[in-house]
Chains A and B, each alone.
Chain A
Amino acid sequence: MGRLVTAEFRKVLTTNLWWALLIPTAVVAVVWSWVGSLLTTTVVDAMSQSTVLRRFGVDLGEQSWSVLFFARTINISAIFPMIFGALALSSEITRRTVTTSYLTAPNRGSLLGAKLITYAAWGAAYGVVVSGFASLGILLGSHPQQLPDATGWLLMAFAGVLSCLLWTLLGVGVGALLGNSIAALLSLLIYTLLVENLIGLWLPQHWPGVLINGSADGLPGVLASQLLNDQLDTVQQIRLLPDSSRQVITDGIQGLAGARGAFDWWASGLIFAGWAAVFVVAGWLVSRTRDIT
């Protein structure tokens, strides 16, 4: 297996795709989080100035609002590692290099296994870039007092790495399942950007959280909204609100973090990991007997 992993790393490093996708990943991450946190800061500033809140003496300027767009940035930027993973096996089939790859591997399962190990590492590396550039973006766009503390930042960065890693593996699975680059890319992009958003609208509370995007978004999204809600709870006037009103605030913030209807962050992570596993296993089963003609 070590031999095949070395070969997979060489395959990636001797072609341009990894950096051709890494550049837009970094750009999207920094722009999205910068613009997003600038927007959030502006809105929060405006709210803090509002007469209603001022009359009650509520101070909303000191919470780490920036994590909301940290989460949203992770969700949007993860498209690139997903594409990267989707091409792992499917582009080999489309380009017919898979013939040689299969001829030099003990069996097809071990080749897919080596790809999963390799692409998990690459997915994590994309995640590090996403979390890094998202941090830069919120640093540029937020007031310093609205940045997360060290623990909050570490948790968000971890969510970014994990999310990108899982998206990459899910992509590898879908690519292996469909066996065609174009088909894999189109179905993944259309589903994640369009289809699930449409069906998510019609589903009742919590249903979106079991879907692919819903659970994936829940990992950083719910984490961010929990960080923020914990801080809002320290605001006395909010703590004294009736439960139903507080629930409205909690749900609203989770929606702002892009994770409407998601379960707890760790549960979302597990559900999403389950989806990735389903596609990897399906891809393995289908690619085991696929005719390479």
Chain B
Amino acid sequence: MSDPILSVRNLTIDIPMSQNTMHAVRGISFDLKRGETLCIVGESGSGKSLTSLAIMGLLSKKLQRAATRLDFAGIDLMSQKLRQMRDLRGNRMAMIFQEPMTSLNPAYTIGDQLAEAYLLHRKATRVQARMRAIELLGKVGITAAENRLSQYPHQLSGGLRQRVMIAMALMCEPELIIADEPTTALDVTIQAQILRLLADLQREMNMAMILVTHDLGVVARVADKVAVMYAGEVVEQGTAKEIFGHPRHPYTRGLLRCIPVPGRSKPGEHLGSIPGMVPSLVGRVKGCAFRARCDVAEEACTAAIPERRMESGHAWRCIHQAAERLSP
């Protein structure tokens, strides 16, 4: 068994507010190996992006990050200085964002932006950086790569921009790549192409990948491992087969019943739904955050929730041990 390249234990992120504190991420733990894809799935506001930014060391200063362990390739990220993090980012670890226009600089050509990280981290010459950029654009399926180098971001379609972002993230062959909703703004047709591309490149370069998404279809098709987030916690994690085949947590089960699935849900019939709303995470949060919306909640759900764990690593946070206790 190889060691994990990324190891996260009890990651918390607090957001100070004028009177109180918001506990946006509340004790997340997971491991990721080389060549593995972890999908973090959950509804908006559940803390997926904050978790990604915390790993990359990109949280804004006013947010407070804590963890009992945050190790990347044997490096303790919690104790890294700003400059040391900058040496890692874009080099050994890289990130792809949902909206490429917010992370591509509109004033610089594609070629300049692709070359930047390579020049910085690899002490390469301009010619070498240019060769590498052309190579990467080709890898992400962009034709006539040479001509693209002199183009500006606004001259490209959304799908092409996302490919450029991927090329940029891969310039220095990172060991870890975090993609935060990389296909959410794209058409389904382009989404499929981009996801295939990411999966192929990940395999080829043996990278570890964290893919953040709210789309369960994407998760099922791409993930080796899945972490389901709810209200700042990972409420369930396991292999994709376990999470989709034998979901244990009532929230995961609810989520899977909500989506129309051609051939499974009956057209016109009611979809399952999760009534109620996500609780506020401002101030002290006690017990299971899902209990107000859960149909098997009990008095005991207001107290501390144990983590259940199977030998396979499938784990969930619920007072109910046996799956039979949960509604189908």
Q: Do A and B bind each other?
A: no
